Structure 1
Amino acid sequence: MDTAATGLTFRDAIDADVDVLVALIESAYRGEASRAGWTTEADILEGQRTDPEGVLEVIKSPDSRLLTVWREGRPVACCQLEHRGDHAYFGMFAVSPGEQGAGLGKLVLAEAERQARETWAVTEMHMTVISVREDLIAWYERRGYRRTGRMTPFPYGDERFGIPRRDDLRFELLVKELH
């Protein structure tokens, strides 16, 4: 997809994109740079959000793709789409902190839903969100996602997912029907 009016280009990630995408994802969630946007997890998690191996795994997986959004030769957003039978999983969503709050995230989410529906004929999109991220969950609810109350534990002790700053973290499943 090319949206000339906004100067954005959507495409699937390739191996050569890994390092810039890791930097984008880290900037949206971790450290001081992430505080420029509203999606930061810096108050609840330290350490890394992802690594080159994790990003490459998404790119290489046959049932997965990493949708990227580019403006003027640099990535400004990305998200993982994974085909899981009758539904798709949405993850690894990142919007550059300087681009947040202007509607780009909403545009990317809508395009991800459209592509999942058209490519895999799925009827639902699933995602997991850290349950204490009430502002983020509310953002998804405004876009049609519903809380299920189904929780899975946070992987405490696995620093690939970050170093928790609190002991009450868990993931909640959010679901949206795709029409």
Structure 2
Amino acid sequence: MDTVTPQDTDRIAYRDAVEDDVPVLVPLVESAYRGDSSRAGWTTEADILQGKRTDEKEVRAVISTPGSRLMVMERDGEIVACCQLEHRGDVAYFGMFAVRPELQGAGLGRRIIEEAERRVREIWGVSEMHMTVISVREELVAWYERRGYRRTGRMTPYPHGDERFGIPQRDGLQFELLVKPLV
């Protein structure tokens, strides 16, 4: 597995996504979560959800909506990760987080989430980051907990029957709110 070395620091850049990035971002997000390609990484949802994770319309909306941005991480000029950041008053929402499956476990996810937290503090002056995670994704929740996020126990039902969110392969799926103070 690739690891990020000190030399990689010069090769990595962050920026906000633009319309021209959409054809790269949709397959990136899809590959990190759904289908056989997602199985190359550890963030796959392929066993609990089928269907699409996102589409061009949704990605364009994140890019173009005021108070929302899609931050990308580039390595050697190539997009390798992304995350959605949304300003919600005193907090920011973190979502649509994806790292190319073959690069997962190399430290890029940790780096982009740290940059996202730094940016929302600096740009929006928020005091807390929020995200929702499918509660049965214990390994993923544990990864976020190691980065300072805490489980709240606040659940919202998975939108069964709405194929925009994927087709559940089991009953009882729900989202749990995770929060992290940004001090």
When normalised by structure 2's length, the TM-score is 0.94
SS at match of 1:144: coil
CA distance 1:126–1:170, change in 2 (3 Å): same
- Describe how 1:4-153 pairs up with structure 2 within 5 A: 5-153=9-157
Supply the AA of the counterpart residue of 1:31. Answer: G
SS of the residue corresponding to residue 66 of structure 2 reads coil
d(CA) in 2 for partners of 1:112, 1:47: 28
Distance in 2 (alpha carbons) for counterparts of 1:145 and 1:81: 16
The Cα of 1:4 is off from its aligned counterpart by: 6.4
The separation in 1 between residues aligned to 2:102 and 2:10, in whole angstroms, is 16
Alignment partners' CA distance in 2, 1:142 and 1:4: 23
| 2:9 partner SS | coil
| Gapped regions of structure 2 (runs ≥ 5) | 1-6
Displacement after TM superposition at 1:8 (Å): 1.2
Structure 1: 5+ residue stretches without partners: none
Cα RMSD over matched residues?
Answer: 1.1
Cα deviation code 1:99-118 (max 9, x no counterpart): 10011000000000000000
Cα distance in structure 2, aligned partners of 1:125 and 1:157: 29
Shift of 1:43: 0.3
Distance (Å, rounded) in 1 between the aligned partners of 2:146 and 2:8: 27
Give the 3-state SS of the residue equivalent to 1:88 in structure 2. strand
Give, in whole Å, the separation in 1 of the partners of 2:121 and 2:36: 36
Aligned equivalents of 2:9, 2:71: Cα separation in 1 = 19
**Which residue of the partner structure matches residue 157 of structure 1?**
161
Structure 1 residue 5 displacement after superposition: 2.8
Corresponding letter in the other structure for 1:38 = W
How far apart in 2 are the matches of 1:103 and 1:33? 20
Secondary structure in structure 2 of the residue aligned to 1:53: helix
